Amino acid sequence: FRDYASPPPHLAFSSDFFRSLSIAKAAELTYPTIAPVGSVYSANFSDDIPVSGSATVITPNEVIPNYCDLKDVTVRIEDAFKNGMRSALVKFRHLGVEYVYKYHFSKLELIWNCTNFLPAIEAYGHLLTHLRSSTFDLGPALKTFKDSLITSKIQGFFSSNFELYKLQCLLGESWLEEDVFNILLEFSYFYRAHHMLTT
């Protein structure tokens, strides 16, 4: 099943694609449009093996369903595969346009990846916009940040191990993530301890 349902690693939006994607490249990426949750009104299995591009790959600016709408199908996908099913017929609406696609099982994983990584892609876009418009020069630190992978974790602290993109919560009026707050407290503690020991 995994061999059939896994997209080739070289495809855009595959798991390998996202694991090797830098923040700079993510900012330049033309992402598909993901329809909001609730857009899918029908999703059923089919025994057809579709081979067209629309059934097997995601193209830039393509409109795709939100993976959350496909969970009822995907939780049964292995059993369906055992029963001879090889694709899913998905019908959804977005901005008044109706879409009807027969997706190869491997494309469902691409849709999952796009839905799953969208928050990080958007957050990095906001972070880069803010850092580029900053009044102070970050110098080589900005290049290091841009060259980091989108799956990077914040490094150098003991109390937390979470995704780098969550730093976006420090911009604007977003809720402050608990892990970011813990890191700030840890940094403050070590800064004060160092200051007390050296004075």
Say whether pLDDT at 169 is over 90: no
Residue 15: what pLDDT? 96
Q: Which of 129, 132, 155 is nearest to 142 (CA)?
A: 132
**Is the model's pTM score more than 0.75?**
yes
Say whether pLDDT at 196 is over 90: no
Residue 160: what pLDDT? 62
The full DSSP string for 161-195 is: --BGGGGGGGSTTPPPPHHHHHHHHHHHHHHHHHH
Block residue for tokens 């090797």: 20
Residue 177: what pLDDT? 59
Say whether pLDDT at 135 is over 80: no
Residue 138: what pLDDT? 79
Residue 188: what pLDDT? 75
Say whether pLDDT at 134 is over 70: no
Length of the chain: 199
The mean pLDDT value for 123-146 works out to 84
Domain residue spans of the chain? 2-117, 153-198
Residue 174: what pLDDT? 54
* pLDDT one-digit tens code per residue, 110-133: 999 999 999 999 999 988 888 887
Residue 136: what pLDDT? 66
3-state secondary structure of 87: strand
Helices (H), 8-95: 15-19, 23-28, 53-56, 71-74, 77-82
The mean pLDDT value for 54-78 works out to 95
Tokens of 171: 């911009």
Q: Residue 180 — very low, low, confident or very high, per pLDDT cuts 50/70/90?
A: low
Cα separation values, 193 from 120, 139, 155, 160, 184, Å: 34, 28, 20, 20, 14
Say whether pLDDT at 176 is over 60: no
Say whether pLDDT at 94 is over 90: yes
Say whether pLDDT at 191 is over 80: no
Tokens of 5: 């349902």
Query: How far is it, in rounded angstroms, from Cα 100 to Cα 111?
Result: 15
CA dihedral 25, 26, 32, 34 (to 10 degrees): 180
Answer positive or negative: Cα dihedral of 48, 53, 54, 56.
Answer: positive
| H and E: helices and strands count for the chain | 9, 5
In the predicted model, what is the mean pLDDT of the chain?
89
